[in-house]
Amino acid sequence: MTTEILGVIVTYGLTLLLAWPLGKYIAKVFNGDRTMLDFMAPMESLFYKLSGINPREEMNWKQHLKALLTINLVWFVYAFFVLIFQDHLPLNPDGNPGQTPDLAFNTAISFVVNCNLQHYSGESGVSYFSQLFVLAFLQFVSAATGIAALVVVLKALREKTTDKLGNFWEFFVKSITRLLLPLSIVMAIILAFNGTPASYKGKGSYVSMQGDTVNVSRGPAAGMIAIKHLGTNGGGWFGANSSHPLENPNYITYITEMVAQVIIPIAMIFALGYFIRRKKFAYVVFGIMTIGMLCLLIPTIITEVNGNPAIAHMGVTQPTGAMEGKEVRFGPAGSAYWSVVTTIISTGSVNAWHDSTMPVSGLMQLLGMMINSFYGGCGVGFLNYFVYIIIAVFISGLMVGRTPEFMGHKLEAREVKIAALITLLSPFLILAGTALSSYVLAHHPDADWAVKPSAWLNNPGYHGFSEMLYEYTSANANNGSGFEGLGDNNIFWNITTGFVLILGRFLPIIGPLAIAGLLAKKKYIPASAGTLKTDSLTFGVVTLAVIIIINALSYFPALTLGPIAEYLSLH
């Protein structure tokens, strides 16, 4: 067990070691400073030329939003139709069928919004064409969308008074050419050399030593698995995601994938410090996020390493911890670390099934997604944290009886209202969704859908309720992991989570962008002795308190019915 814990510590340490210089580099890229990847500039110019874009055209926050939403709409329409007609398109060696409209609706949205809930299985639900030309493509561009949105906000925070916030297309394209694509190439090569398939051949087959004939799914998976982590997407090539021995063959790929999924979110925090020239602010944010992460991680590791009490009750000692839904090569500690990281940032890839983890771990995973800003997803992680900061500034202002200010701009009713609405949106979507599904389950168990409500749940009692709660929480957080026992490929889940996905993605982008845009237009007020210092540890703690209070008030009742009740029944 010692080597497993050490594996976790070294993996996290390595992440920080790499995130530090990467953060500096990201700041330089968006600052327009010289970097070692400047040789990409001609390629970018070509992209702009072919697309009829002038990257020097300055946009205000509304124009940024319009550009962002327009291109996202284009992707959705494109993805939807390819998924429906994939059986008529090339690169389908396994002969997989087209998706039903409701599944295609869910899948298209899910990948456009960087979530990757997968209500299909990679081996049988999509063609190679869809995997590459829709899903992996969207994994790149959805991550770049989040990063570009964050850069706009940072630009607004940095300037004294302006409405010129750079060019959306430039931020977006550079996120791909300077960051996501180069890192993906490196990572895909590491994966390929450790056994992840990368060729276009269809299923392989062999006759086993016991004489069974077995077909083996494969395909050009390495590239997708790279971007699925670097872009905090999470949607895997295979149904079993990163627990699949081809998707995550050994401990080297475990470390690679673990580092990859959290490196950009952490690097973004460091980049923020350089970019807005407030390093101390960035360190405080990083510190609070890390404390939050540890509060979720430590109980999870302890619980998983101790094993399942119900199995201990049968008389089996569990020196290797809880192993249901886990792989031997990762072990319980490595799987626990993954499950927390993948839920606090919005990856949602898994190397062990969360449905089979212990109730305490399930609770931590749910909390990670509900808070959704301890590091958080590519770009959007800080946007979520930013909303909490606005609330914290407002509350601090009330406590000392001064008009609240943030980064030299007065925070007034309009901005606070936006922040409050965004904060309330998550509990509304999650709890209303779970309530609706519970109602349908209880009152219309035999509704004639692809999966009848009576067959939705893979587990009885409290845990079954958690499966539904988890699905909406994951959709709202744009996370994409699931308590996968849930029978979710039917019109009810495809449509309802589809709408939760859209709202849970775009409103939390629109809100912070609007707040930052509105602030940047206001008169700049130089800091004085009476200014609330947002880069102090005290303010960091206030923000953490705001996060805890808001989330506890929102979710405690629902969590009591799910994992907390399950915990009490198990012990």
Partner 1 sequence: MKRYILPAIRLTVVLIVVLAGIFPLFISAIAKMAPGKGDGETVTHNGRIVGYANIGQKFTGDKYFWSRPSAVDYNAAGSGGSNKGAANPDYLKTVQERIDTFLVHNPGVRKEDIPVELVTASASGLDPDLSPAAADIQVARIAKIRGIPATRLHALVDQYTKGPLLGMLGPSKVNVLQLNIALDDLK
CA-to-CA dists, residue 324 to 90, 328, 335, 356, angstroms: 38, 10, 11, 6
**178 is a site residue for partner 1 (CB under 8 A):** no
Sorted by sequence, the CB contacts under 8 Å of residue 423 that are 6+ apart come out as: 387, 388, 391, 550
Task: Kindly identify the residues of this chain, within the stretch 326-355, that bind partner 1 according to CB under 8 A.
Answer: 326-331, 334-335, 350-353, 355
CA distance 191 to 194: 5
Quick note: the x/- pattern for partner 1 over 20-49, rule CB under 8 A, is ---------------------------x--
261 belongs to the binding site for partner 1 (CB under 8 A): no
Under rule CB under 8 A, which residues in 511-570 are in contact with partner 1?
Answer: 566, 569-570
Residues 268-307 that bind partner 1 (CB under 8 A): 307
Q: What's the min distance (Å) between Cβ of 462 and partner 1?
A: 8
Within the chain, what is the greatest distance between any pair of CA atoms? 80
Distance between CA atoms of 401 and 88, rounded to whole angstroms? 66
What residue type is 72 in one-letter code? N
Closest CA to 366 of 477, 512, 255: 477
- Under the binding rule (CB under 8 A), the answer on residue 137 touching partner 1 is yes
CB of 194 to partner 1, least distance (A): 8
Are the C-beta atoms of 447 and 440 separated by less than 8 Å?
yes
Choice between 69 and 548, CB closer to partner 1: 69
123 lies in the binding site for partner 1 (CB under 8 A): yes
Q: Which of 136, 371, 416, 491 binds partner 1 (CB under 8 A)?
A: 136
- Judged by beta carbon, residue 274 or residue 483, the one nearer partner 1 is 483
Q: Is 164 in the site for partner 1 (CB under 8 A)?
A: no
- Cβ of residue 217: shortest distance to partner 1, in angstroms? 5
Q: What is the dihedral of CA 92, 47, 149, 517, to 10 degrees?
A: -150
For residue 239, state whether it binds partner 1 (rule: CB under 8 A): yes
Q: What CA dihedral angle connects 39, 171, 19 and 154, to 10 degrees?
A: 140
Task: Please identify, using beta-carbon distances, which residue of 93 and 287 lies nearer to partner 1.
Answer: 93
Q: Among 85, 280, 324, 527, which residue interacts with partner 1 (rule: CB under 8 A)? A: 324
Residue 95 is a binding residue for partner 1 (CB under 8 A): no
CA distance 426 to 290: 22
- The rounded distance, in Å, linking the Cα atoms of 450 and 557 is 31
Report the residue from 32, 90, 204, 445 that binds partner 1 according to the rule CB under 8 A: 204
Binders of partner 1 among residues 433 to 492 (CB under 8 A) are 458-461, 463, 466, 483-485
**For residues 462, 466, 468 and 474, what is the CA-based torsion angle, rounded to 10 degrees?**
180
Minimum separation from the CB atom of position 19 to partner 1 (A) = 19
Strand partners, 216: 204
Q: Which residues, other chains included, contact 96 with Cβ-Cβ below 8 Å and sequence gap of 6+? A: 86, 87, 124, 125, 126, 127
Which of 28, 155, 218, 278 contacts partner 1 by CB under 8 A? 218
State which of residues 23, 98, 146, 197 lies at the interface with partner 1 (CB under 8 A): 197
CB of 86 to partner 1, least distance (A): 14
- Assess 234 for contact with partner 1 (CB under 8 A): no
Closest CB 474 distance from partner 1, rounded Å: 14
Nearest to residue 412, comparing CAs of 394, 389, 437, 429? 394
Question: Which one of 16, 60, 78, 450 is in contact with partner 1 (CB under 8 A)?
Answer: 78
